[in-house]
């Protein structure tokens, strides 16, 4: 286990792992729909920054009330590496998805992010680790399911042209690699020992990175055109940030990364179903077959990691 995750990881009990993991599956799966609804009347980068700043404020107040302000006193190095994680995971990862959903359906964005699981396994192999055969089989099955759901002609254009769809789909794939790479490296970083403190600094620094990017690209927030629906969606994203990133940080320290990364398989299932039900995004036969195959891949990965542990 130590060879798999690095010296910072301590194995959690089944309840400590499965509770946060299921929350990660469901909560993050719903965020793709919420991002699409929020950005209908809000600029993508600035709304993401507002989301993370609000979540950081709530989390910071909670930490001070229950733990005292001293809990936020960590080393400069710990703040710096938390900031690096915030910029690469939240700034690059979520910022790119928010921009991409201006052109591609929310369910498709989630499907592209699911390639994260493949990146994770490739990074593990490159580092000299040997995932179990079931884990490798699960990844292969998951990728086959992804291929079914992304067959040519299955991606609707939300706005722009087919070229915009190709560009932003590629951008999401790159951002997924950024997420996987820095998640993989994080177990060796000098991060705060308290996962909620780590999440607080990630949220704050990631939010300021998004504010800067939004300012540079000329985004402006016009409160007069923002709908009540977008405000509700943004409020859910704030809550999802608190739940999701705290659960993710916890799992990075308590569970194998391959098991944690199964969220990348389950989130598209949730996202595609919600997008179809609420935004009327197309649910084709290819997507239905792909979802079924993806779930089979999740089962294989889970069983493979359980045997490894």
Task: For the chain, give the mean pLDDT.
Answer: 83
Confidence (pLDDT) at 288: 75
Task: Give CA 76 to chain center in angstroms.
Answer: 26
Using CA atoms, how far apart are residues 277 and 29, in angstroms rounded to an integer?
A: 14
Q: What is the mean pLDDT of residues 163-175?
A: 84
pLDDT bin (cut points 50, 70, 90) of residue 216 is very high
pLDDT in tens, 31-82: 999 999 999 999 999 999 999 999 999 999 999 999 999 999 999 999 999 9
Query: What is the percent of the chain with per-residue pLDDT over 70, rounded to a whole number?
Result: 87
């Amino acid at each position: 286990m130590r060879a798999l995750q690095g010296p910072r990881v301590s194995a959690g009990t089944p309840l400590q792992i499965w509770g946060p993991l299921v929350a990660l599956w469901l909560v993050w799966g719903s965020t793709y729909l919420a991002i699409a609804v929020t950005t209908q009347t809000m600029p993508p980068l600035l709304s993401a920054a507002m989301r993370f700043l609000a979540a950081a404020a709530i989390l910071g107040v909670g930490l001070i009330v229950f733990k005292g302000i001293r809990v936020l006193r960590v080393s400069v190095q710990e703040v710096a590496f938390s900031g690096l994680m915030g910029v690469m995971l939240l700034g690059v990862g979520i910022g790119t998805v928010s921009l991409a959903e201006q052109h591609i359906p929310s369910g498709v964005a989630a499907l592209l992010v699911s390639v994260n699981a493949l990146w994770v396994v490739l990074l593990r192999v490159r580092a000299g680790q040997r995932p179990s055969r079931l884990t490798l089989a699960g990844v292969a099955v998951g990728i086959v399911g992804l291929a079914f759901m992304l067959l040519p002609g299955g991606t609707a254009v939300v706005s722009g042209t087919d070229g915009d769809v190709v560009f932003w789909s590629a951008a999401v794939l790159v951002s997924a690699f950024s997420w996987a790479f820095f998640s993989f490296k994080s177990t060796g970083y000098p991060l705060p020992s308290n996962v909620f403190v780590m999440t607080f600094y990630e949220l704050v620094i990631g939010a300021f990175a998004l504010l800067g990017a939004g300012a540079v690209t000329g985004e402006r927030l016009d409160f007069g055109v923002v709908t009540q629906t977008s405000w509700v969606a943004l409020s859910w994203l704030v809550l999802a940030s608190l739940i999701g990133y705290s659960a993710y940080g916890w799992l990075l320290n308590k569970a194998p990364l391959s098991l944690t990364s199964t969220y990348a398989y389950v989130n598209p299932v949730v996202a595609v179903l919600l997008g179809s039900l609420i935004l009327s995004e197309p649910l084709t036969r290819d997507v239905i077959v792909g979802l079924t195959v993806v779930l089979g891949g999740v089962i294989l990965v889970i069983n493979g990691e359980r045997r490894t542990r």
